[in-house]
Structure 1
Protein backbone atom coordinates (compact mmCIF):
# COMPACT_ATOMS: atom_id res chain seq x y z
CA UNK A 1 0.00 0.00 0.00
CA UNK A 2 1.21 3.48 -0.75
CA UNK A 3 0.91 6.42 1.62
CA UNK A 4 -1.68 7.85 -0.73
CA UNK A 5 -3.81 4.76 -0.28
CA UNK A 6 -3.40 4.87 3.50
CA UNK A 7 -4.90 8.36 3.63
CA UNK A 8 -8.02 7.33 1.72
CA UNK A 9 -11.27 7.59 3.70
CA UNK A 10 -12.46 4.30 5.18
CA UNK A 11 -15.49 2.66 3.60
CA UNK A 12 -18.62 2.10 5.68
CA UNK A 13 -18.31 -1.49 6.80
CA UNK A 14 -19.36 -3.73 9.58
CA UNK A 15 -17.79 -7.02 10.54
CA UNK A 16 -19.63 -10.22 11.35
CA UNK A 17 -19.07 -13.96 11.24
CA UNK A 18 -19.32 -15.16 7.68
CA UNK A 19 -22.25 -17.41 6.84
CA UNK A 20 -23.09 -20.03 4.23
CA UNK A 21 -24.85 -17.36 2.13
CA UNK A 22 -21.44 -15.62 1.79
CA UNK A 23 -19.71 -18.61 0.15
CA UNK A 24 -19.81 -17.26 -3.45
CA UNK A 25 -18.11 -14.02 -2.39
CA UNK A 26 -15.63 -15.89 -0.20
CA UNK A 27 -14.64 -17.98 -3.25
CA UNK A 28 -14.05 -14.78 -5.24
CA UNK A 29 -11.67 -13.39 -2.64
CA UNK A 30 -9.99 -16.75 -2.06
CA UNK A 31 -9.20 -16.80 -5.79
CA UNK A 32 -7.67 -13.29 -5.50
CA UNK A 33 -5.35 -14.52 -2.75
CA UNK A 34 -4.44 -17.62 -4.73
CA UNK A 35 -3.53 -15.49 -7.75
CA UNK A 36 -1.25 -13.27 -5.66
CA UNK A 37 0.50 -16.37 -4.35
CA UNK A 38 0.62 -17.98 -7.79
CA UNK A 39 2.20 -14.87 -9.29
CA UNK A 40 4.81 -14.85 -6.54
CA UNK A 41 5.48 -18.59 -6.44
CA UNK A 42 4.06 -20.37 -9.51
CA UNK A 43 6.22 -23.35 -8.57
CA UNK A 44 4.13 -23.84 -5.41
CA UNK A 45 0.66 -22.40 -6.07
CA UNK A 46 -1.84 -23.48 -8.71
CA UNK A 47 -4.04 -21.03 -10.56
CA UNK A 48 -7.68 -21.14 -11.57
CA UNK A 49 -8.75 -23.47 -8.76
CA UNK A 50 -10.63 -23.03 -5.52
CA UNK A 51 -9.04 -23.55 -2.11
CA UNK A 52 -12.16 -25.19 -0.68
CA UNK A 53 -15.30 -26.85 -1.98
CA UNK A 54 -18.64 -25.36 -0.96
CA UNK A 55 -19.08 -28.21 1.55
CA UNK A 56 -15.64 -27.62 3.06
CA UNK A 57 -16.39 -23.90 3.40
CA UNK A 58 -19.75 -24.66 5.00
CA UNK A 59 -18.00 -26.90 7.54
CA UNK A 60 -15.41 -24.22 8.32
CA UNK A 61 -18.11 -21.56 8.72
CA UNK A 62 -20.14 -23.70 11.12
CA UNK A 63 -17.18 -24.63 13.34
CA UNK A 64 -16.50 -22.39 16.36
CA UNK A 65 -12.84 -23.51 16.28
CA UNK A 66 -12.42 -21.94 12.82
CA UNK A 67 -14.20 -18.57 12.94
CA UNK A 68 -14.33 -16.61 9.69
CA UNK A 69 -15.00 -12.89 9.87
CA UNK A 70 -16.23 -10.84 6.94
CA UNK A 71 -16.10 -7.09 6.39
CA UNK A 72 -19.38 -6.18 4.72
CA UNK A 73 -20.91 -3.08 3.22
CA UNK A 74 -23.92 -1.58 4.95
CA UNK A 75 -26.14 -3.55 2.55
CA UNK A 76 -24.90 -6.81 4.18
CA UNK A 77 -24.45 -8.20 0.68
CA UNK A 78 -21.06 -6.90 -0.46
CA UNK A 79 -18.03 -8.61 1.05
CA UNK A 80 -14.97 -6.33 1.12
CA UNK A 81 -12.66 -8.70 2.97
CA UNK A 82 -12.35 -11.69 5.25
CA UNK A 83 -10.17 -13.24 7.95
CA UNK A 84 -10.14 -17.04 8.29
CA UNK A 85 -9.01 -17.91 11.82
CA UNK A 86 -8.15 -21.10 13.69
CA UNK A 87 -7.77 -21.64 17.42
CA UNK A 88 -4.49 -23.43 18.17
CA UNK A 89 -3.60 -25.07 21.47
CA UNK A 90 -0.73 -27.27 22.59
CA UNK A 91 -2.20 -28.54 25.86
CA UNK A 92 -0.31 -31.86 25.90
CA UNK A 93 3.00 -30.66 24.46
CA UNK A 94 6.21 -31.46 26.29
CA UNK A 95 8.00 -28.43 24.87
CA UNK A 96 5.35 -25.76 24.21
CA UNK A 97 3.48 -23.89 26.90
CA UNK A 98 -0.26 -24.36 27.25
CA UNK A 99 -1.50 -21.17 25.59
CA UNK A 100 -4.30 -20.50 23.14
CA UNK A 101 -3.36 -18.79 19.90
CA UNK A 102 -5.73 -17.36 17.33
CA UNK A 103 -3.99 -18.09 14.04
CA UNK A 104 -5.09 -16.06 11.02
CA UNK A 105 -4.97 -18.70 8.31
CA UNK A 106 -6.02 -16.38 5.51
CA UNK A 107 -6.81 -12.69 5.27
CA UNK A 108 -7.86 -10.80 2.18
CA UNK A 109 -9.28 -7.45 1.16
CA UNK A 110 -10.94 -7.17 -2.24
CA UNK A 111 -8.66 -5.38 -4.69
CA UNK A 112 -11.38 -2.77 -5.26
CA UNK A 113 -11.50 -1.92 -1.53
CA UNK A 114 -7.78 -1.85 -0.77
CA UNK A 115 -6.35 1.26 0.81
CA UNK A 116 -9.61 2.09 2.57
CA UNK A 117 -8.74 0.59 5.96
CA UNK A 118 -10.80 -2.57 5.53
CA UNK A 119 -7.81 -4.77 6.41
CA UNK A 120 -7.06 -2.69 9.49
CA UNK A 121 -10.68 -2.95 10.66
CA UNK A 122 -10.68 -6.72 10.09
CA UNK A 123 -7.43 -7.16 11.97
CA UNK A 124 -8.65 -5.02 14.87
CA UNK A 125 -11.82 -7.13 15.03
CA UNK A 126 -9.71 -10.31 15.15
CA UNK A 127 -7.59 -8.84 17.98
CA UNK A 128 -10.70 -7.89 19.95
CA UNK A 129 -12.19 -11.36 19.40
CA UNK A 130 -8.93 -13.03 20.48
CA UNK A 131 -8.82 -10.97 23.68
CA UNK A 132 -12.47 -11.76 24.50
CA UNK A 133 -11.89 -15.48 24.00
CA UNK A 134 -8.80 -15.58 26.23
CA UNK A 135 -6.11 -15.98 23.60
CA UNK A 136 -2.50 -15.29 24.49
CA UNK A 137 -1.57 -14.10 20.98
CA UNK A 138 -2.57 -13.75 17.35
CA UNK A 139 -0.30 -15.15 14.65
CA UNK A 140 -0.21 -15.41 10.88
CA UNK A 141 2.17 -16.38 8.11
CA UNK A 142 3.19 -14.17 5.21
CA UNK A 143 4.96 -15.34 2.07
CA UNK A 144 8.23 -13.57 1.28
CA UNK A 145 6.95 -13.10 -2.29
CA UNK A 146 4.30 -10.72 -0.88
CA UNK A 147 6.30 -7.83 0.61
CA UNK A 148 3.29 -5.49 0.50
CA UNK A 149 1.38 -7.75 2.87
CA UNK A 150 4.39 -8.05 5.16
CA UNK A 151 4.74 -4.26 5.32
CA UNK A 152 1.00 -3.95 6.07
CA UNK A 153 1.25 -6.45 8.94
CA UNK A 154 4.30 -4.69 10.35
CA UNK A 155 2.40 -1.37 10.30
CA UNK A 156 -0.31 -3.09 12.35
CA UNK A 157 2.30 -4.02 14.96
CA UNK A 158 3.00 -7.65 14.09
CA UNK A 159 6.58 -8.85 14.44
CA UNK A 160 8.26 -11.97 13.05
CA UNK A 161 8.37 -14.81 15.57
CA UNK A 162 9.70 -17.56 13.34
CA UNK A 163 11.06 -17.69 9.82
CA UNK A 164 10.58 -20.53 7.32
CA UNK A 165 13.46 -21.24 4.98
CA UNK A 166 13.91 -23.45 1.93
CA UNK A 167 16.41 -24.66 -0.59
CA UNK A 168 14.91 -25.65 -3.94
CA UNK A 169 16.53 -28.78 -5.32
Structure 2
Protein backbone atom coordinates (compact mmCIF):
# COMPACT_ATOMS: atom_id res chain seq x y z
CA UNK A 1 0.00 0.00 0.00
CA UNK A 2 1.42 3.32 -1.04
CA UNK A 3 0.65 6.88 -2.02
CA UNK A 4 2.28 7.99 -5.25
CA UNK A 5 1.92 10.66 -7.91
CA UNK A 6 -0.85 9.79 -10.40
CA UNK A 7 0.07 8.87 -13.96
CA UNK A 8 -1.87 8.84 -17.22
CA UNK A 9 -2.45 5.10 -16.67
CA UNK A 10 -4.49 6.01 -13.55
CA UNK A 11 -7.01 8.17 -15.45
CA UNK A 12 -9.74 5.47 -15.72
CA UNK A 13 -9.52 4.81 -11.95
CA UNK A 14 -9.58 8.56 -11.23
CA UNK A 15 -12.66 8.99 -13.40
CA UNK A 16 -14.33 6.10 -11.57
CA UNK A 17 -13.69 7.77 -8.21
CA UNK A 18 -14.83 11.16 -9.53
CA UNK A 19 -18.08 9.52 -10.67
CA UNK A 20 -18.61 8.22 -7.11
CA UNK A 21 -18.15 11.76 -5.78
CA UNK A 22 -20.59 13.17 -8.31
CA UNK A 23 -23.15 10.53 -7.32
CA UNK A 24 -22.76 11.50 -3.65
CA UNK A 25 -23.01 15.23 -4.41
CA UNK A 26 -26.10 14.64 -6.56
CA UNK A 27 -27.73 12.73 -3.71
CA UNK A 28 -26.96 15.59 -1.29
CA UNK A 29 -27.74 18.50 -3.66
CA UNK A 30 -29.74 17.34 -6.71
CA UNK A 31 -30.61 20.99 -7.33
CA UNK A 32 -26.95 21.67 -8.19
CA UNK A 33 -25.29 18.44 -9.32
CA UNK A 34 -26.05 16.31 -12.36
CA UNK A 35 -26.65 12.59 -11.74
CA UNK A 36 -23.98 11.55 -14.26
CA UNK A 37 -20.99 13.07 -15.95
CA UNK A 38 -17.35 13.76 -15.40
CA UNK A 39 -15.61 16.52 -13.53
CA UNK A 40 -12.55 16.32 -15.78
CA UNK A 41 -11.74 15.01 -19.22
CA UNK A 42 -8.70 12.79 -19.72
CA UNK A 43 -6.86 15.80 -21.18
CA UNK A 44 -7.71 17.97 -18.16
CA UNK A 45 -6.56 15.25 -15.75
CA UNK A 46 -3.30 14.89 -17.69
CA UNK A 47 -2.73 18.64 -17.47
CA UNK A 48 -3.44 18.71 -13.72
CA UNK A 49 -1.22 15.75 -12.90
CA UNK A 50 1.75 17.16 -14.80
CA UNK A 51 1.56 20.61 -13.15
CA UNK A 52 3.54 20.85 -9.90
CA UNK A 53 1.00 23.37 -8.53
CA UNK A 54 -1.92 20.94 -9.03
CA UNK A 55 -0.55 17.48 -8.31
CA UNK A 56 -2.77 14.43 -8.09
CA UNK A 57 -1.81 11.52 -5.86
CA UNK A 58 -3.31 8.05 -5.67
CA UNK A 59 -3.47 5.50 -2.88
CA UNK A 60 -2.81 2.02 -4.23
CA UNK A 61 -3.02 -1.46 -2.75
CA UNK A 62 -0.44 -4.24 -3.11
CA UNK A 63 -1.60 -4.97 -6.67
CA UNK A 64 -1.32 -1.28 -7.71
CA UNK A 65 -5.13 -0.87 -7.75
CA UNK A 66 -6.19 2.72 -7.06
CA UNK A 67 -8.32 2.83 -3.89
CA UNK A 68 -8.27 6.59 -3.34
CA UNK A 69 -7.09 9.89 -4.72
CA UNK A 70 -5.96 13.30 -3.56
CA UNK A 71 -6.16 16.39 -5.79
CA UNK A 72 -4.06 19.27 -4.43
CA UNK A 73 -3.59 22.93 -5.33
CA UNK A 74 -0.62 24.97 -4.12
CA UNK A 75 -1.64 28.63 -4.00
CA UNK A 76 0.13 31.87 -3.19
CA UNK A 77 -2.47 34.15 -1.65
CA UNK A 78 -2.10 37.90 -1.56
CA UNK A 79 -4.51 40.78 -1.79
CA UNK A 80 -4.98 44.30 -0.53
CA UNK A 81 -6.29 42.90 2.76
CA UNK A 82 -4.37 39.63 3.16
CA UNK A 83 -0.71 39.35 3.98
CA UNK A 84 1.05 37.13 1.43
CA UNK A 85 0.98 33.44 2.34
CA UNK A 86 1.17 30.05 0.70
CA UNK A 87 -1.70 27.60 1.19
CA UNK A 88 -2.42 24.04 0.15
CA UNK A 89 -6.00 23.43 -0.94
CA UNK A 90 -7.35 19.88 -1.03
CA UNK A 91 -9.48 20.09 -4.14
CA UNK A 92 -10.62 16.50 -3.78
CA UNK A 93 -10.02 13.58 -1.44
CA UNK A 94 -11.87 10.36 -2.21
CA UNK A 95 -11.71 6.75 -1.09
CA UNK A 96 -13.42 4.10 -3.21
CA UNK A 97 -16.77 3.03 -1.77
CA UNK A 98 -15.52 -0.56 -1.51
CA UNK A 99 -12.41 0.43 0.48
CA UNK A 100 -13.84 2.80 3.08
CA UNK A 101 -13.25 2.15 6.77
CA UNK A 102 -9.63 1.06 6.22
CA UNK A 103 -7.99 4.34 7.32
CA UNK A 104 -7.14 5.26 3.70
CA UNK A 105 -8.75 8.71 3.96
CA UNK A 106 -6.71 9.51 7.06
CA UNK A 107 -3.52 8.40 5.32
CA UNK A 108 -4.31 10.62 2.31
CA UNK A 109 -5.05 13.56 4.63
CA UNK A 110 -1.82 13.01 6.59
CA UNK A 111 0.05 12.88 3.27
CA UNK A 112 -1.47 16.24 2.28
CA UNK A 113 -0.52 17.72 5.65
CA UNK A 114 3.11 16.59 5.25
CA UNK A 115 3.12 17.87 1.66
CA UNK A 116 1.91 21.30 2.87
CA UNK A 117 4.62 21.44 5.52
CA UNK A 118 7.34 20.44 3.03
CA UNK A 119 6.21 23.26 0.72
CA UNK A 120 6.20 25.90 3.48
CA UNK A 121 2.44 26.41 3.52
CA UNK A 122 0.76 28.55 6.17
CA UNK A 123 -2.34 26.33 6.19
CA UNK A 124 -4.24 23.47 4.59
CA UNK A 125 -7.79 24.13 3.42
CA UNK A 126 -10.65 22.34 1.69
CA UNK A 127 -14.34 22.78 0.96
CA UNK A 128 -17.00 20.40 2.22
CA UNK A 129 -20.77 20.50 1.74
CA UNK A 130 -22.63 21.00 5.03
CA UNK A 131 -25.08 18.25 4.08
CA UNK A 132 -22.19 15.76 3.79
CA UNK A 133 -22.26 14.87 7.49
CA UNK A 134 -19.81 11.95 7.17
CA UNK A 135 -17.16 14.14 5.53
CA UNK A 136 -17.70 16.94 8.07
CA UNK A 137 -17.20 14.50 10.97
CA UNK A 138 -14.15 12.99 9.28
CA UNK A 139 -12.39 16.34 8.81
CA UNK A 140 -13.35 17.60 12.27
CA UNK A 141 -11.95 14.39 13.77
CA UNK A 142 -8.67 15.17 12.00
CA UNK A 143 -8.53 18.59 13.70
CA UNK A 144 -9.93 20.80 10.97
CA UNK A 145 -12.31 23.63 11.81
CA UNK A 146 -14.40 26.06 9.78
CA UNK A 147 -12.42 28.96 8.35
CA UNK A 148 -15.44 30.73 6.83
CA UNK A 149 -19.00 29.85 6.00
CA UNK A 150 -20.82 30.51 2.74
CA UNK A 151 -24.54 31.01 3.31
CA UNK A 152 -27.35 30.59 0.80
CA UNK A 153 -31.06 30.88 0.36
CA UNK A 154 -32.53 28.65 -2.31
CA UNK A 155 -34.71 30.95 -4.36
CA UNK A 156 -36.53 28.02 -5.93
CA UNK A 157 -37.85 27.04 -2.48
CA UNK A 158 -41.41 28.18 -1.84
CA UNK A 159 -40.69 29.36 1.71
CA UNK A 160 -37.80 31.12 3.41
CA UNK A 161 -37.24 32.43 6.92
CA UNK A 162 -38.23 36.00 7.76
CA UNK A 163 -35.11 36.35 9.93
CA UNK A 164 -37.05 35.66 13.11
CA UNK A 165 -37.27 31.92 12.63
CA UNK A 166 -40.65 32.06 10.91
CA UNK A 167 -41.22 30.60 7.47
CA UNK A 168 -42.92 32.97 5.08
CA UNK A 169 -44.07 32.56 1.52
CA UNK A 170 -41.08 33.69 -0.55
CA UNK A 171 -43.05 35.02 -3.53
CA UNK A 172 -45.24 37.13 -1.26
CA UNK A 173 -42.25 38.50 0.60
CA UNK A 174 -40.48 39.54 -2.60
CA UNK A 175 -43.65 41.09 -4.02
CA UNK A 176 -44.31 42.97 -0.77
CA UNK A 177 -40.76 44.40 -0.77
CA UNK A 178 -41.16 45.49 -4.38
CA UNK A 179 -44.46 47.28 -3.63
CA UNK A 180 -42.93 48.92 -0.54
CA UNK A 181 -39.96 50.12 -2.57
CA UNK A 182 -42.19 51.61 -5.26
CA UNK A 183 -44.25 53.43 -2.60
CA UNK A 184 -41.15 54.90 -0.93
CA UNK A 185 -39.74 55.95 -4.30
CA UNK A 186 -43.02 57.74 -5.06
CA UNK A 187 -42.88 59.57 -1.70
CA UNK A 188 -45.41 57.30 0.04
CA UNK A 189 -45.06 55.14 3.09
TM-score (norm. length: structure 1) = 0.90
What secondary structure, in the 3-state scheme, does the structure 1 residue paired with 2:67 have? strand
Q: What is the Cα deviation at residue 108 of structure 1?
A: 0.4
Question: Contact 1:37–1:145 at 8 Å: present in 2 too?
Answer: no
Q: What is the Cα deviation at residue 87 of structure 1?
A: 1.1
Higher RCO structure (Cα 8 Å, ≥6 apart):
1
What secondary structure, in the 3-state scheme, does the structure 2 residue paired with 1:104 have? strand
1:149 equivalent in alignment to 2:164: no
Could you say which residue in structure 1 is the equivalent of 2:100? 114
Q: What is the Cα deviation at residue 67 of structure 1?
A: 1.0
| Structure 2 counterpart of 1:88, from 72, 75, 81 | 75
| Structure 1 counterpart of 2:40, from 40, 43, 52 | 52
1:32 equivalent in alignment to 2:24: no
Instruction: Report the aligned-residue RMSD.
Output: 0.8
Tell me the distance in 2 between the aligned counterparts of 1:97 and 1:89. Answer: 10
What secondary structure, in the 3-state scheme, does the structure 2 residue paired with 1:64 have? coil
Unaligned runs of 5+ in 1: 1-12
Unaligned runs of 5+ in 2: 156-189
Q: What is the Cα deviation at residue 75 of structure 1?
A: 2.0
Tell me the distance in 1 between the aligned counterparts of 2:116 and 2:40. Answer: 25
1:75 equivalent in alignment to 2:66: no
| Structure 1 counterpart of 2:111, from 112, 119, 125 | 125
Could you say which residue in structure 2 is the equivalent of 1:7? none
Look at both structures and tell me which one has the larger radius of gyration over its CA atoms.
2
Tell me the distance in 2 between the aligned counterparts of 1:154 and 1:19. Answer: 31
